[in-house]
A and B are shown apart, each in its own frame.
Chain A
Amino acid sequence: MSNLTQSPYCDGLRRRRLLKAAGAGLVGWLVPNAASAQVWKQVEAIRQIAGTAAVVNDGLDMSLPLVAEDGSSVPVTIQTRSDAGMGRIVKLDLFAPKNPTAEIAAFEFTGGLEALKLSTRIRLSESQTVVALARTEDGRLWVTERAVRVTTSGCVAPAGSDPENEMKARVRLPKAWKSGTPAEVLTMISHPMVTGLAKDTAGNTQEQRIIESFQATLNGESLVSARYFRSMAANPYLKVDLVVHQPGELRFEWVENTGKTAEHTERVTIA
């Protein structure tokens, strides 16, 4: 089907994944705990970030479906447990170690967030353990992992590509802000996030074309900024609890790797 080939990660990778699926599933079933809380140590990209910092396994929670039928868009939510005593979180990195690009996204929260609650949608090329790594102000690292099984049928779903609306931004803000209280901000931009890996029907590989960065600023000061990689799902989506202390102009900006940008501005008034 044509939409199979348009759908990134659903082409060459899928065949390999299908063959491996049965075996991988069996191994995962036989040794359920062998991999838990340790996968990140085997990932070079994470080890580089971690360096020699102290790593704490307890404090972050990750929600993912146990089984994802649509590997091209898997919802993930990261949040802090209120009793973990983590302090302010300044960075969050997400990894899918078995994807062609392990990095999914890297978020920075200027000034830090006391309580983190962030949801996005990611691509998973095969069953694997997703890793989230947060850094607090004091330099400690917090890690959480969760295994997810990816099955095939998602690739049958129609591809969501919509060239006319590309780079169209959508933002949903809380109806009323309270100074210093976290409030949910939803953002999404229409974009196919072309991985540069999948072949089209003619057998050509399209060049990678992705949203590579996102930033939200209030009166020119950054609240959250992010780097996105091709393991982010199409139409990059971000739901995050943010804290504001003053009214003003909340500006969102997305940048494509070609340099093209999209912007969206909203007024923030404090009740």
Chain B
Amino acid sequence: MTHLDFVLWAGLAIGLAFGACGQLSGFCLHRGLDQRWSGGDAPKLRSFAMALAVAILGTQALAATGGVDLSKSLYLTASVSWLLLPVGGLMFGYGMALANGCGARCLVLLGQGNLRSLMVLLCLGIAAYMTLTGVLSPLRVALAEITTYHLPAATIPAGLSRSVAACLVSVALLRYALRRLGSGLPVRDLACGVIVGLLVVAGWYTTGTLGADDFEPVPVTSLTFVAPIGDTLQYTMIASGMSLRFGVVLVLGVVLGSLLMAVSRGKYRLEGFETPEQMLRYMAGGVLMGAGGALALGCSIGQALTGLSTLSYSSAVAALSIVAGAWIGRHKGAARPTARVKSVSL
């Protein structure tokens, strides 16, 4: 096996684990935020906080020991678009509220038989490619050129200050994740949060160490879903002229992992749209997530988990924009049809 094969098999394994874990616990930033904004305890948000804390600590430890050169990743570039990054984040967050879950969540739901998610994913993948390389790409490039901003630094300087920052942020997140409320600790959610956090680290290790090669290095990345969902659609259509990559096997792994877990738990159930209005809403959500994710360079996993694990300043902006977009989506405009609630199992 070449190093590329190792990367692909590891990517598939990471995807399977993420899919299984997501199916089991319903890991989802959107649901966490929704629970939080509905008042009361938010086990899904605590699960996400746990994942983020583990991802930050693990990734920083891996980078400090030379397991991955994060400066080669997408997130640690010092020149960003001050316009597209937040606008893309807002679009993604709003779309996530419309479609009732992010791209990664849709992959998990698809695995358990939810065909609404398939529609969202198709719209998301196509919109992402329209924005990255398709009809909208001239506009994206033109806007990026006139709104480029050079950050003085992409992240906190290496060494003691970065270690301290990583620890402080993680401790704050862990305190939130582990605080006791009336009903005790949501153990399954927190355990799945730990696993997802470790999968982010595993992704960095896979592309940064297994994929390292003097001659043919693999692009350094980890869990991220917007461009990879588009890549996967493209791969299915032009596989004879395109080689498999980490992101594509990751996406396939998530669907498969969720499918296996759903079947083994007896949770596999075909579901579709109930009304055309609902379908339109989900499609709009998919398009907004695809285009927004492409502009913001990542999704609620890609920026808010993987990006933040690098302690990148621009990822913090993108993650906050995604949360803000989700808030707007929930509180203004994107009123939820009542029929939806019961049909989304787990």
- Which A residues contact B (CB, under 8 angstroms)? 1-4, 14, 18-19, 22, 64-67, 69, 151-153, 155-158, 170, 172, 186, 188, 237, 239
Measured CA separation A151–B135 after assembly (Å): 11
- CB neighbours of B243 from chain A (8 A): 65
- CB neighbours of A2 from chain B (8 A): 79, 148, 150
The 8 Å CB contact of B137, one of A3, A66, A153, is: A153
Given contacts A4-B145, A153-B132, contact A66 B241 (CB under 8 A): yes
- CB neighbours of A157 from chain B (8 A): 219
- Are A158 and B135 touching (Cβ within 8 A)? no
- Are B242 and A66 touching (Cβ within 8 A)? yes
- Are B238 and A158 touching (Cβ within 8 A)? no
- Are B137 and A18 touching (Cβ within 8 A)? yes
- Which B residues contact A (CB, under 8 angstroms)? 72, 74, 77, 79, 81, 132-135, 137-138, 141, 144-145, 148, 150, 214-215, 219, 234, 238, 240-243
Given contacts A18-B137, A152-B137, A153-B133, contact A1 B241 (CB under 8 A): no
- CB neighbours of A64 from chain B (8 A): 241
- CB neighbours of B77 from chain A (8 A): 3, 158
- CB neighbours of A188 from chain B (8 A): 214-215
The 8 Å CB contact of B242, one of A65, A170, A239, is: A65
- Are A172 and B238 touching (Cβ within 8 A)? no
Measured CA separation A237–B242 after assembly (Å): 20
B97 vs chain A, min Cβ distance (A): 27
- Are B215 and A1 touching (Cβ within 8 A)? no
Measured CA separation A237–B216 after assembly (Å): 10
B244 vs chain A, min Cβ distance (A): 12
- Are B141 and A172 touching (Cβ within 8 A)? no
Given contacts A1-B145, A69-B133, contact A170 B214 (CB under 8 A): yes
4 cross-chain pairs, A with B, having the tightest CB-CB distances, nearest first? A66-B241, A151-B133, A153-B132, A18-B138
The 8 Å CB contact of A66, one of B72, B135, B219, B238, is: B238
Which chain B residue lies CB-closest to A70? B219
- Are A152 and B242 touching (Cβ within 8 A)? no
Measured CA separation A137–B214 after assembly (Å): 35
- CB neighbours of B214 from chain A (8 A): 170, 172, 188
Measured CA separation A170–B215 after assembly (Å): 8
Measured CA separation A64–B77 after assembly (Å): 29
Given contacts A19-B138, A151-B137, contact A67 B242 (CB under 8 A): yes
B304 vs chain A, min Cβ distance (A): 20
Residue among A3, A66, A157, A172 having the largest count of chain B Cβ atoms under 10 Å:
A66
B95 vs chain A, min Cβ distance (A): 20
- CB neighbours of B133 from chain A (8 A): 69, 151-153
Inter-chain residue pair count (beta carbon < 8 A): 58
- CB neighbours of A170 from chain B (8 A): 214-215
- CB neighbours of B137 from chain A (8 A): 18, 151-153
A76 vs chain B, min Cβ distance (A): 12
B141 vs chain A, min Cβ distance (A): 6
A158 vs chain B, min Cβ distance (A): 6
Measured CA separation A125–B72 after assembly (Å): 24
Measured CA separation A64–B137 after assembly (Å): 23
- Are A152 and B132 touching (Cβ within 8 A)? yes
- CB neighbours of A69 from chain B (8 A): 133
- CB neighbours of B241 from chain A (8 A): 64-67
Measured CA separation A18–B219 after assembly (Å): 25
- CB neighbours of A172 from chain B (8 A): 214-215
- CB neighbours of A1 from chain B (8 A): 79, 81, 144-145, 148
- Are A67 and B138 touching (Cβ within 8 A)? no
Measured CA separation A237–B135 after assembly (Å): 33
A6 vs chain B, min Cβ distance (A): 11
Measured CA separation A158–B234 after assembly (Å): 23
A149 vs chain B, min Cβ distance (A): 9
Measured CA separation A186–B74 after assembly (Å): 28
- CB neighbours of B219 from chain A (8 A): 157
Given contacts A66-B241, A186-B215, contact A152 B141 (CB under 8 A): yes
Measured CA separation A1–B147 after assembly (Å): 8
Measured CA separation A8–B219 after assembly (Å): 20
Q: 14 A-B contacts, Cβ less than 8 Å apart? A: A1-B81, A2-B148, A19-B138, A65-B243, A151-B132, A151-B137, A152-B137, A152-B141, A153-B132, A153-B133, A156-B144, A172-B215, A188-B214, A237-B215
Measured CA separation A65–B77 after assembly (Å): 27
Residue among A1, A67, A156, A157 having the largest count of chain B Cβ atoms under 10 Å:
A1
Measured CA separation A170–B81 after assembly (Å): 36
Measured CA separation A122–B74 after assembly (Å): 23
If A66-B238, A69-B133, A152-B137 are given as contacts, then 8 extra A-B residue pairs at C-beta distance below 8 Å, sorted by A number, are A1-B81, A14-B141, A18-B138, A18-B141, A66-B240, A66-B241, A151-B137, A152-B133
B49 vs chain A, min Cβ distance (A): 30
A223 vs chain B, min Cβ distance (A): 19
Measured CA separation A4–B142 after assembly (Å): 12
Residue among B77, B137, B215, B234 having the largest count of chain A Cβ atoms under 10 Å:
B215
Measured CA separation A39–B321 after assembly (Å): 49
- CB neighbours of B81 from chain A (8 A): 1
Measured CA separation A66–B239 after assembly (Å): 9
Measured CA separation A66–B241 after assembly (Å): 5
A103 vs chain B, min Cβ distance (A): 24
- Are A67 and B234 touching (Cβ within 8 A)? yes
A7 vs chain B, min Cβ distance (A): 12
Measured CA separation A66–B234 after assembly (Å): 11
